[in-house]
């Protein structure tokens, strides 16, 4: 029983990352009709916003420590962050320690700006082109973005830590009345899942309960009619592209303590996120979320030792097998709408 709960938890937090990226992809596809293969790169850029803020907060001056030697036998040069000089050692260290949560504030405007520039500068020129052209240009853009990041940050992964208060794990099993030690789960992964739930809820509420959201939904349903009513739907869709970029970026920021980021992390998520979108139903926001969580849980269960021993290799193909079965039985995906990508 504890193993089942453990894998469900795992699947939920893994699936929440898939769902966040798929949500952004679906927003862009649903509003602009663009198949955005650069969306994984936006996830990666968000993670590197956190790295950048951490480096800004860690900007240092050099102090020579005569008591220690460097690798060449010279007195050791110790880097002392400016924030420690300005706010005192413990406060300065705490500010650096909290750089990942602080990066949320930094990332939102940066990613909205990147999204808007991307849409206005490149993607709008491909609205009326075939999906194949859109895929090619956005995939090319993703490669360019990741090579830029690699140039500045290197190819190796960069360690990013959760704040000390959330480092490590806790006894989840004891909390729900099970035997102590039965389910040990990391704090940050639970935080990630809760953060994803809030973010998804926020985006859906924004679309559901604001006038802006209402217009966007109307535009998604019938763009021409909304335009005929004198509403500048293009401008709203551009903003939605920015919001989708910010959602992907925030997913990336919060993911950095789970896996140290590198330039390739977006590509690692891209294919699976498209599978999530297709399984959920092209253009369906709830479908993307449902499929993300479902496939995350399936992947977790397929990684169990007992399952692998029974069906060797199942952990590598389970998502695609599930996608085949779902698409054979429900060709439009779990919650797909009629007419989307069927022309």
User: Applying CB under 8 A, which residues contact other proteins?
Assistant: 2-3, 6-7, 10-11, 13-14, 17, 68, 70-72, 76, 78, 150, 154-159, 161, 168-169, 181-182, 184-186, 188-189, 258-260, 262, 264-265, 268, 299-300, 303-305, 308, 315-316
Choose among 341, 313, 314, 343: nearest CA to 327. 341
Alpha helix positions (H), the chain = 2-32, 39-57, 82-87, 89-97, 99-121, 131-153, 172-175, 187-209, 211-221, 223-228, 233-255, 265-280, 285-302, 305-310, 314-329
Minimum CB–partner distance for residue 18 and other proteins (Å): 10
**Closer to other proteins at the Cβ: 27 or 323?**
323
**Closer to other proteins at the Cβ: 33 or 315?**
315
**Closer to other proteins at the Cβ: 252 or 333?**
252
Rounded Cα distance, 267 and 146, in Å: 9
If one counts every other C-beta atom within 10 angstroms of the C-beta of residue 164, the result is 11
**Closer to other proteins at the Cβ: 30 or 257?**
257
**Closer to other proteins at the Cβ: 189 or 332?**
189
Minimum CB–partner distance for residue 289 and other proteins (Å): 19
**Closer to other proteins at the Cβ: 171 or 234?**
171
Q: What are phi and psi of 123, to 5 degrees?
A: -70, -30
Three-state SS at 38: coil
**Closer to other proteins at the Cβ: 29 or 188?**
188
Rounded Cα distance, 343 and 338, in Å: 11
Residue 163, H or E segment: none
Minimum CB–partner distance for residue 179 and other proteins (Å): 10
Minimum CB–partner distance for residue 3 and other proteins (Å): 6
State the pairing for strand pair 75-81/60-69: antiparallel
DSSP 336: P
**Closer to other proteins at the Cβ: 160 or 290?**
160
Minimum CB–partner distance for residue 89 and other proteins (Å): 17
Choose among 30, 49, 331, 147: nearest CA to 22. 30
Minimum CB–partner distance for residue 324 and other proteins (Å): 19
Choose among 280, 278, 308: nearest CA to 293. 280
- 80: β partners: 61
Minimum CB–partner distance for residue 264 and other proteins (Å): 6
Rounded Cα distance, 338 and 109, in Å: 35
Minimum CB–partner distance for residue 265 and other proteins (Å): 7
């Amino acid at each position: 029983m504890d193993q089942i709960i453990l894998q469900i938890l795992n699947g939920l937090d893994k699936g929440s990352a898939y769902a966040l990226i798929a949500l952004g992809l679906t927003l862009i596809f649903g509003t602009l009709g663009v198949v955005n293969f650069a969306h994984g790169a936006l996830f990666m850029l968000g993670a590197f916003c956190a790295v950048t803020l951490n480096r800004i907060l860690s900007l240092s001056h050099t102090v020579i420590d005569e008591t220690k030697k460097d690798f060449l036998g010279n007195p050791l040069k110790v880097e002392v962050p400016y924030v420690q000089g300005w706010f005192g050692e413990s406060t300065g260290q705490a500010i650096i320690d909290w750089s990942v949560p602080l990066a949320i504030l930094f990332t939102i405007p940066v990613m909205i700006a990147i999204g808007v520039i991307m849409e206005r500068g490149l993607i709008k020129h491909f609205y009326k082109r075939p999906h194949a052209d859109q895929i090619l240009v956005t995939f090319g853009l993703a490669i360019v973005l990741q090579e830029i990041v690699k140039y500045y940050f290197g190819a190796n992964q960069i360690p990013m830590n959760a704040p000390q208060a959330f480092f490590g794990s806790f006894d989840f099993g004891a909390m729900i009345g099970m035997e102590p030690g039965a389910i040990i789960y990391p704090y940050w992964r639970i935080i990630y899942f809760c953060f994803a739930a809030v973010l998804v809820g926020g985006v859906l509420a924004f679309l559901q309960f604001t006038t802006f959201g209402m217009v966007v939904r109307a535009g998604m349903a019938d763009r021409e009619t909304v335009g005929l009513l004198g509403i500048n739907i293009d401008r709203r869709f551009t903003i939605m592209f920015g919001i989708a970029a910010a959602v992907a970026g925030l997913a990336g920021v919060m993911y950095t303590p789970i896996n140290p980021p590198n330039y390739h992390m977006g590509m690692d998520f891209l294919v699976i996120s498209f599978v999530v979108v297709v399984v959920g139903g092209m253009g369906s926001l709830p479908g993307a979320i449902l499929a993300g969580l479902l496939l995350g849980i399936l992947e977790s269960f397929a990684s169990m030792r007992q399952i692998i021993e029974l069906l060797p290799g199942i952990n590598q193909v389970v998502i695609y097998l599930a996608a085949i079965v779902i698409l054979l039985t429900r060709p439009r995906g779990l919650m797909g709408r009629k007419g989307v990508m069927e022309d």
